[in-house]
Amino acid sequence: MADQRALYEQVILDHNKSPRNYGEMECPDHKAEGYNALCGDQFTIFLKMGDGDIIEDISFEGAGCAISKSSASVMTTMLKGKTQDEAKALFTGFTEMLTSDVDTPFDIEVVGKAQVFSGVREYPVRVKCATLAWHTLMSALEDADGTVSTE
Ligand code: FES
């Protein structure tokens, strides 16, 4: 268990240091901004959609703590080639995992590599950090106007 925790932390630190799919996208089909009202950190998510509601490309930019930035990065690596419905199911599984009790098992099949953030459950104040980009993604998929806030 200690080894697994160390591995998870390593993945989070790596994505924070070298975020994947980072940068503004030219001519995105969807774009949304989200911010954490507690700290003011913010991210923008860019999406390019393909046939059959498939996420063809996704990128993000913005500034945030290590948890929020690495969560945005991991999220983007998981979503390319996924349908909107699959992305929403992943969002649901991820947020359910983070808001469940520490000892509640979660479905690894559903959350995939986003399981590296399962330790965040022990620090409820950080849950908003981990979900910031994900809420912003939902806003982008729904093409909602305005800025999404974690409040
Ligand atoms: Fe701002 Fe984590 S402290 S998003």
Report how far apart, in Å, the C-alpha atoms of 23 and of each of 19, 36, 106, 147 are: 10, 20, 32, 19
Which of 12, 16, 36 has most ligand 1 atoms within 8 Å of its beta carbon, as the pocket-test mutant?
Answer: 36
Write the residue with the smallest CA distance to atom 4 of ligand 1.
129
Distance CA 5, CA 81 (A): 29
Count, residues in the chain: 151
User: What are the pLDDT digits (tens) for 74-97?
Assistant: 999 999 999 999 999 999 999 999
User: What are the pLDDT digits (tens) for 100-144?
Assistant: 999 999 999 999 999 999 999 999 999 999 999 999 999 999 876
All structural domains of the chain, each given as residue ranges with its CATH number in brackets, are 2-149 (3.90.1010.10)
Which of 42, 65, 123 has most ligand 1 atoms within 8 Å of its beta carbon, as the pocket-test mutant?
Answer: 65
139 and 25 Cβ atoms separated by less than 8 Å: no
pTM of the model as a whole: 0.94
Structure tokens at 74: 């991991």
Q: Which ligand 1 atom sits closest to the C-alpha of 67?
A: 2
User: What are the pLDDT digits (tens) for 45-75?
Assistant: 999 999 999 999 999 999 999 999 999 999 9
59 and 69 Cβ atoms separated by less than 8 Å: no
